[in-house]
Amino acid sequence: MTSANPKRITVLGSTGSVGAQTLEVIGTFPERYQVVALAAGSNAEKLAEQVRRHRPERVSLADPEAASALGEALRDVEVEIGVGEAGLAAVAESDADLVVAAIVGAAGLPPTLAALRAGRDVALANKEALVMAGALVLREARASGARLLPVDSEHSAIFQALGGESRESVSRLILTASGGPFRTWSDDRIARASVEEALDHPNWEMGPKITIDSATLMNKGLEVIEARWLFDVPPERVDIVVHPQSIVHSLVEFSDSSVIAQLGLPDMRVPIAVALAHPERLELDLPRLDLATIAQFTFEAPDSKRFPCLDLAYRALAGDEAAPAVLNAANEVAVEAFLAGELPFPGIASTNAAVLEAHLAKVAKDGSVALREIFDVLRADAWGRGCARDILSNGENT
Ligand code: MG
């Protein structure tokens, strides 16, 4: 079914991996989608190409020099060009039916909140918004009546498996994890893992930060936090199972013990298309899943002894509203240090654990921190980063 009026789409982070794939899907259906606004960081050249192809009304770049280069490159095109935080906010609040939030990291939180506050439905590819500020993001969405649609592949799988079922009939969400490159490695071998080995993900091609998070399984921990908020289920009802083939993208168990899974070859264009078209489906020209060729799926329990980051996510969820933001901040600092060769691989988990414990000890002494506004989130984030840097510079984990 094709609607008479094209759906108006804004993409935040349009030159990144998910943003560019979103425009690729949109470009296949010009009668269904109209791009109204785009925001990117500093890649003026790629954004200029996207503007010529998709003709948005408004764009913005974070970097001022890149924005003036974009203005030069697009002198013959009628488009509003913004810059910095104000430009990004204007793009986020543009009159769209759906905002695809695909800016990586903490920078994606303010425009996501701005879009929700303006009542725009948001397709969320930015995990950090829910990890750092789940309670706040949910409150904003409820207040304006905006919808949150998942783009993360596991959460898209759960969203699809849930269909129209009532929340009361859901007994468990089961996130699948590939297990990362060290799934079969011994403790000793993991302790000596190099940056190159950690960056060698078996199934998905992704940026370095999320690839390291897949090796530590912190990514799955962050996805537990994401699922807790996105589907509004208590953490004890979110489970993880390791599935090295990455074909079953996640599952939902219902009260009658029935389990519904979503399957497919790993390709981010599928969850992107699901979010864009919901409640319809797009016809995508992609390789089809051939079960007889794959022949075998395997599943195993995650090993939280070799991969302690998993338990940290649950521990953070059991803490106050700020604890997941603190854990996320510590992890970003620790992963950076590992990538720079300043920290051995197990140091990521031990740094994260030490920072989280320090935060929880502070909460036990001074009381919980509530996330009332973005300032509270940024303060928790800054505290986590500072604490992680202190621990790293004291060499406690190296
Ligand atoms: Mg994922």
Q: How far is the CA of 338 from the centre of ligand 1 (A)?
A: 21
Per the domain annotation, does 123 fall within a domain?
yes
Per the domain annotation, does 132 fall within a domain?
yes
Q: How far is the CA of 223 from the centre of ligand 1 (A)?
A: 7
Helices marked H in 187-322? 187-191, 195-198, 208-216, 218-230, 269-277, 291-294, 309-318
Using the 3D structure, point to which of 150, 171, 206 is the last residue of a domain. 150
Per the domain annotation, does 112 fall within a domain?
yes
Whichever domain contains 16, its CATH number is 3.40.50.720
Is residue 145 left, alpha or beta, with left meaning phi > 0 and alpha meaning psi from -120 to 50?
Answer: left
Per the domain annotation, does 40 fall within a domain?
yes
Whichever domain contains 336, its CATH number is 1.10.1740.10
Q: How far is the CA of 122 from the centre of ligand 1 (A)?
A: 17
Q: What pTM does this model have?
A: 0.94
Using the 3D structure, point to which of 106, 127, 150 is the last residue of a domain. 150
Residue 47 is part of which domain span? 7-150
pLDDT digits (tens, 9 = 90+) for 132-142: 999 999 999 99
pLDDT digits (tens, 9 = 90+) for 89-107: 999 999 999 999 999 888 8
pLDDT digits (tens, 9 = 90+) for 102-135: 998 888 999 999 999 999 999 999 888 999 999 9
The band of 3, judged by pLDDT with boundaries at 50, 70 and 90, is low
- Could you give the CA distance from residue 30 to residue 37 in angstroms, rounded to a whole number? 15
Q: How far is the CA of 154 from the centre of ligand 1 (A)?
A: 5
Question: Exposed (0-12), middle (13-18) or buried (19+): which is 375, by Cβ within 10 Å?
Answer: exposed
Per the domain annotation, does 387 fall within a domain?
yes
Residue 111's Cβ-side half-sphere holds a number of Cα atoms within 13 Å equal to 37
Q: How far is the CA of 5 from the centre of ligand 1 (A)?
A: 32
For residues 115 and 92, is the Cβ–Cβ distance under 8 A?
Answer: yes
Using the 3D structure, point to which of 119, 150, 181 is the last residue of a domain. 150
Per the domain annotation, does 347 fall within a domain?
yes
The two beta strands, 58-61 and 80-83, are parallel
Query: Per the structure block, which two tokens stand in for 142?
Result: 């409820």
pLDDT, residue 207, reads 75
Per the domain annotation, does 130 fall within a domain?
yes
**Mean of pLDDT values over 144-158:** 97
The pLDDT of residue 58 is above 70: yes
Q: How far is the CA of 352 from the centre of ligand 1 (A)?
A: 20
Q: How far is CA 299 from CA 136, 189, 247, 260, 311, in A?
A: 35, 23, 11, 16, 19
Q: How far is the CA of 73 from the centre of ligand 1 (A)?
A: 36
For residues 222 and 170, is the Cβ–Cβ distance under 8 A?
Answer: no
Q: How far is the CA of 353 from the centre of ligand 1 (A)?
A: 22
Query: Per the structure block, which two tokens stand in for 221?
Result: 């921990």
For residues 397 and 357, is the Cβ–Cβ distance under 8 A?
Answer: no
The residue among 123, 66, 56, 65 whose CA lies nearest residue 90 is 56
Which residue in the block uniquely carries the two structure tokens 């940026």?
207
pLDDT digits (tens, 9 = 90+) for 339-361: 999 999 999 999 999 999 999 99
Which residue in the block uniquely carries the two structure tokens 């300043």?
342
The pLDDT of residue 254 is above 90: yes
Q: How far is the CA of 80 from the centre of ligand 1 (A)?
A: 34
Per the domain annotation, does 172 fall within a domain?
no
Number of domains in the chain: 2
